[in-house]
C-alpha cells in the first residue's frame, strides 16, 4: 500500500484581528469596553474609554453593580450599557470594540431566548437606531485600557458611577500617554 502525503505548506492564516489599539477612521470615535467579575464580593465591574482619531481621550466611564451573571451575560450587558451611553450622549460615528467575541458573533446570528439572547436582542435594537455605530471584536491586547477601568470599577461604591470628560484618571494616564506617542 502506498500513502502519498502532499505538503502544501502551512495552513492559510486567518486575517489578524487588532492586536494593539489602533486609531479609528477620521471623524469616528472608538469606544473600548470590558467587564470584570468579583466573585468574592458578588459584584460586576464595567468600564469603557472613548478616544478620537487623534488618539485623544474623550471620555472614561466606570461603574459596578451588585450581582453575578455568566461572563457572556455580563459582556452583553456591558455592551448594551455602552450603546445606551452612546445614544444618550448623541454620538453618531462610533466603533465599539470588545474582547467578548461571543457577543460580537451573537449580534450577527439569531440567539436563543436565554438571558444572554435577550440582551443581544436589546443590543441589536440599539444598533438599528445607531446606524454609524459598529460593534467589533478586538484582541485583549488592544483593549487593555478598558480592562484596567473595569478592575478599578470594582473598587467604587455600588452607587458610584465615574464619568470623566475633562481629565484622565491618574491610574490610567501613563499607559494612555504611551499610546499617544506611538505612530
Whether residue 90 lies inside any domain: the answer is: yes
Domain that holds residue 126: 29-181
Share of the chain residues as helix, strand and coil, in percent rounded to the nearest 5: 35, 25, 40
pLDDT of residue 113: 66
In a domain? residue 164? yes
Question: Tens digits of per-residue pLDDT, 71-101?
Answer: 989 999 999 999 999 999 999 999 999 888 8
The answer to whether residue 68 sits within a structural domain is yes
Asked, for residue 137, whether it belongs to a domain, the answer is yes
* pLDDT tens for each residue of 126-135: 999 999 998 8
Lateral strand order in the sheet of 57-66: 133-137, 94-98, 29-38, 43-51, 57-66, 161-164
**pLDDT computed for residue 111 by the predictor:** 64
What's the mean pLDDT in 105-112?
Answer: 73
Higher pLDDT, 172 or 6: 172
Confidence of residue 32 (pLDDT cuts 50, 70, 90): very high
Alpha helices, DSSP H, located in 47-155: 71-89, 101-108, 115-129, 144-153
Residue 14 lies in a domain: no
- Report, as an integer, the average pLDDT of 39-63: 93
- How many independent structural domains does the chain possess? 1
- Compare 6 and 176 and report the one with higher pLDDT: 176
d(CA 107, CA 120): 6
49: CB partners within 8 A, 6+ apart: 31, 32, 57, 59, 60, 61, 145, 146, 149, 172, 176
Is 40 a member of any domain?
yes
User: Is residue 22, in this structure, part of any structural domain at all?
Assistant: no
> Cα(149)–Cα(31) distance, rounded to whole angstroms?
13
Domain with residue 73: its CATH number is: 3.30.420.10
| Per-residue model confidence (pLDDT) at position 142 | 78
Q: How far separated are the first and last CA of the chain, in Å rounded?
A: 58
pLDDT band, very low/low/confident/very high, at 7 (cuts 50, 70, 90): very low
pLDDT in tens, 126-160: 999 999 998 888 887 777 888 888 888 888 776 67
Amino acid at each position: 500500500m502506498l500513502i502519498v502525503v502532499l505538503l502544501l505548506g502551512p495552513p492559510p492564516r486567518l486575517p489578524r484581528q487588532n492586536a494593539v489599539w489602533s486609531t479609528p477612521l477620521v471623524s469616528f470615535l472608538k469606544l473600548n469596553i470590558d467587564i470584570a467579575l468579583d466573585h468574592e464580593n458578588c459584584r460586576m465591574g464595567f468600564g469603557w474609554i472613548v478616544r478620537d482619531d487623534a488618539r485623544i481621550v474623550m471620555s472614561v466611564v466606570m461603574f459596578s453593580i451588585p450581582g453575578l451573571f455568566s461572563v457572556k451575560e455580563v459582556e452583553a450587558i456591558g455592551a448594551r450599557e455602552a450603546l445606551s451611553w452612546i445614544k444618550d450622549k448623541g454620538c453618531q460615528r462610533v466603533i465599539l470594540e470588545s474582547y467578548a467575541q461571543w457577543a460580537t458573533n451573537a449580534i450577527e446570528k439569531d440567539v436563543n431566548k436565554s438571558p444572554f439572547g435577550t440582551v443581544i436582542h436589546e443590543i441589536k435594537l440599539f444598533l438599528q437606531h445607531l446606524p454609524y455605530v459598529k460593534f467589533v471584536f478586538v484582541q485583549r491586547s488592544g483593549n487593555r485600557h478598558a480592562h484596567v477601568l473595569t478592575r478599578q470599577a470594582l473598587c467604587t461604591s455600588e452607587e458610584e458611577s465615574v464619568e470623566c470628560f475633562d481629565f484622565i484618571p491618574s491610574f490610567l494616564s501613563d499607559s494612555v500617554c504611551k499610546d499617544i506617542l506611538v505612530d
